[in-house]
Amino acid sequence: MRLSPSIPTSTKTSGSSTIPQSACQAALTCADGMKQSPLLQFEASAFRVVPGEDEQTNPGVYGKALAVWLAQALRTAGMPAGDAIAEDFGWCIPVNAGSNRLFVACANVEGAVNRWQVFACIEARFFARLTGSEGVPSLPDLYAAVKRCLESANEIKKLQEHAA
């Protein structure tokens, strides 16, 4: 089921920010008005799959440990990342970006439990496109932070970038 990114189904609170979960739902398709970073794929055995984890997503779709780790790594790097949220496609990390919706999608490569993929995505709101959003992270900022976090982790092997 695809939800409209502009209609929140529920929210998560990160510090003083409330982030609509439906923004994460749109991550796989990056519909009109949304931009996606390149896809990063890699191998890592450090992100263990918890039995029953895919009951929160879809059968065979994992990534909770990766998303929890990456959210913390992004916060350490100065990004205002929220808590990982389960979605049909995997796990989503919302990032406070003012009036834009910015997030990171995390999931295993289909059929694998040690191969992973992540990308950043932004939905620029109409008003924000008109006025600009100074002082908040941009899609290139978030993508660069995600890539740095992955590159600096000894557990990450064979990191590859694929065009969006």
Global confidence as pTM: 0.76
Domain boundaries, position 125: 11-162
In a domain, 5, yes or no: no
In a domain, 1, yes or no: no
- Per the structure, how many domains does the chain have? 1
Q: Is 88 helix (H, G, I), strand (E, B) or coil?
A: coil
pLDDT, one tens digit per residue, over 19-44 is: 333 334 344 445 556 788 999 999 99
Cα 112 from chain centroid (whole Å): 19
Answer positive or negative: Cα dihedral of 68, 39, 48, 76: negative
pLDDT, one tens digit per residue, over 125-164 is: 654 444 455 555 788 999 999 999 999 999 999 999 999 7
In a domain, 61, yes or no: yes
In a domain, 2, yes or no: no
